[in-house]
Amino acid sequence: MAEAVIVSTARTAIGRTRKGSLVGLDAFELAEAVVPAALERGGVPAADVDDVVLAESYQGGGVIARNIAVRLGLFNASGAATNRHCAGGLTAVSIAAGSIRAGMDRVVIAGGTESLTNAARSSKRDATGEYQPWMAPSHPETPEAPAFDMSITVGENTAREMGLTRRDVDEWTVYTHERALASIDSGAFVDEIIPLDVTLPDGTTKRFDTDEHPRRGTTLERLATLPLLHPELPNATVTAANAAGLNDAAAAVTLTSDDYAATHGLTPLARIRSWATAGIEPALTGLAPTLAIPRALDRAGLALADIDLFEINEAFCSVPVAAVRKLGIRPEIVNVNGSGASLGHPIAATGARMVVTMVGELRRRGASLGCVSMCAGGGMGAAMIIEIV
């Protein structure tokens, strides 16, 4: 069986939605920046690209991957769109890896693109025949799992299920901002980020090459002054700070078969050891990583102790805290570069961004194995094991 190896990675810096540096670029334009960058960095001839798989979530439906393939002259790459909510970008990478391991494709560019700033708005006919604003629900609405309030469905429910306090999640919030800012300040992300020259709403231009969501001066004392999103709930924990950001970004990786890489003189950065998804009742969405991670480890023939680094996306900070406690992971090897609450959570791009960052951090440390995982709206979870080669 062929191995699926990553020969290049690329991402944009992460912008803040509606008021950040990427407000002038839509999801198509963000993808148009990272796909050719991943291709160029990989040293793969454009004619050899068999497919482009990109996650998209709030872009109105369609196949951005095919649109971008055509824009870039990759006419032979059909293109595919995938949507698994927050896990979409990771799913795109696993689809590409699966096709390569099955011997169906040799070269696939995979990732995700998200512009929440410029997200499409939908409408649907009501009982009177009039069109009203509409958004597709991630799951059927129930009192314990609101379809459009993840602060309850994920954040509060996870905290309550695991007995977490507001201090528990606020302490993680401080930690993730410290780790994100330390990574930015040390230049850890420089090689993975594609600088973009962007035009701001006031007409000025700037070079955008640094994640802008992390907030300096994040302390427990400051966090304690923030209002709860649901003060009516007993032992509530969720604030705007210990939840993921709303963000814009794109990320992509070039995957090839190991045989293709060897034949073409390419140096693989990492290989995909395994991946897994998991379903759980929507009210327990935040615990989905605790199911997906063991499943991915088992498929790779690995134990928890074999993993050098984890990133467990901070849709809410209760999610990684819950996973650490439930699975017995050492917290100091989790989210060492920050994650959703600090770096930001550009939904469809997040999983691919996590892969990009994990590959870079493992190589910087001379480490071998990393696991990226997240929950996703509607009671879904995903995990992937990456090994440096």
* Residue in 85, 177, 213, 375 annotated catalytic: 375
Catalytic residue among 86, 213, 317, 371: 86
Q: For the beta carbon of residue 131, count every other beta carbon within 10 angstroms.
A: 10
Distance CA(271)–CA(257), nearest Å, equals: 9
Rounded Cα distance between 115 and 9, Å, is: 20
Q: Which residue among 85, 139, 177, 345 is the active-site one? A: 345
Query: 328: which residues sit within 8 A by CB, 6+ positions away?
Result: 304
Pairing relationship of beta strands 270-279 and 380-388 according to DSSP bridges: antiparallel
Provide the pairing of β-strand 107-115 with 51-55.
Answer: parallel
Following CA atoms 68, 70, 75, 80 in sequence, which dihedral angle do they give, to the nearest 10 degrees? 40
345 is catalytic: yes
| C-alpha span between 146 and 139 (Å, rounded) | 9
Query: CA–CA separation, 121 vs 136, rounded Å?
Result: 11
- Residue from 331, 177, 162 nearest 237 by CA: 162
Contact call for residues 347 and 248 (beta carbons, < 8 A): no
End-to-end CA distance of the chain: 17
Q: Are 163 and 157 in contact (CB under 8 A)?
A: no
Distance CA 133, CA 189 (A): 39
Active site residues: 86, 345, 375
